[in-house]
Amino acid sequence: MALKEAMLYTTEDAKVRCAICAHQCSIAEDGYGVCKTRQNREGKLYTLIYGAVSSAHVDPIEKKPLYHFFPGTLVFSLGTVSCNFRCKHCQNWSISTAEVGEVHTMEISPEEAVRQAKRSRCDGIAWTYNEPTIWFEYTYDSAKLVKRAGLYTVYVTNGCISEVALTEIAPFLDAANVDVKAFTDSFYKKISGARLEPVLETCKRMLEKKIHIELTYLIIPGYNDSVEELKKFSDWVVDVNASTPVHFSRFYPMHLMLDVPPTSVETLEQAHEVAKEAGIEYVYLGNVPGHEYENTFCPECGKVLIERTGYHVRKRISKPECPDCGRNINIQL
């Protein structure tokens, strides 16, 4: 496994401070950050996972999920190990809770990642499955090569990236799906071991930097599903940018939350109604195959612009405007 000196850290006596994410870990000699993948060795910070790939797949871009970013294309998807969150409901817990060396990884250089993406006829590369921010050096080096090759770049992220790290990678990052896990800080602290505010700030900064973003909100029964919380979240989205696509996703029992039942379709539909009433223009329901709210509708005339059945996509739109009423649509084609 390649050892590489980390980017974006400062030295504080015998400690180093990592500036990659909002945790801003102060790390003693031989110690690790929260993510367990960044280590202080003799006063220098090193990443232990550069090029260490635990998962590599060709996915539809809709699986990220991104519905307004080159719909119908394929994206080469890469993940590594560990995370800077501790979500009790993580669906990829087998890699996100693993420490370096606990799961099998393969070495894929940035150059090889681009070659494999092109060989697989993908239009871009996504860093996903676990948190890409902790893999920053690898994703940063890769993103520059991906863009040079004429492909797009995607982060599927918890949004905990620091302002300085986002500024560094933004010129080479085209799109992101940001997982807003709830709209209370108490949920973030209790369920994810993190804070809400840095995530909200990241969303705003990404929009300011012209990165296409979509938001995913996994609705967990009894935890973040109240109408009041959903309304606060929806009002915040509208205040930031009403045309930001929002995906309300269905929870299934997972990891340390096996005692929580799946989200009812009625609850998801209620969330959709709350979001639309608040003024969000594009609202989707996830993990409910065949539901009409997988489709994209024109927010002006209501005509179907993109039909989705699973990951099969049928487009009625060839440029970012409704073919029926001419309304501008927030979409990249």
pLDDT, tens only, 264-306: 999 999 999 999 999 999 999 999 999 999 999 999 999 999 9
Supply the pTM of this predicted model: 0.97
> CA–CA separation, 195 vs 110, rounded Å?
31
* Higher per-residue confidence, 199 vs 101: 199
pLDDT at residue 1 is higher than 70: no
Q: What is the pLDDT at residue 14?
A: 86
Q: Distance (Å, rounded) from C-alpha 88 to C-alpha 306?
A: 34
pLDDT in tens, 132-160: 999 999 999 999 999 999 999 999 999 99
Q: What is the mean pLDDT of residues 18-31?
A: 97
Residue 28 has pLDDT above 60, yes or no: yes
Is residue 211 within 8 A of residue 170, CB to CB? The reply is yes
Q: Tokens at residue 134, please?
A: 């902790």
Burial 53-62, CB ≥16 within 10 A → b, else e: bbbbeebbbb
Mean pLDDT across the chain, nearest whole number? 97
Among 1-5, 159-163, 312-316, name the one with the lowest average pLDDT: 1-5
Domain spanning 52-289 has what CATH number?
Answer: 3.20.20.70
Residue-range domain boundaries for the chain? 2-48, 52-289, 295-333
What average pLDDT does range 75-99 have in this prediction? 96
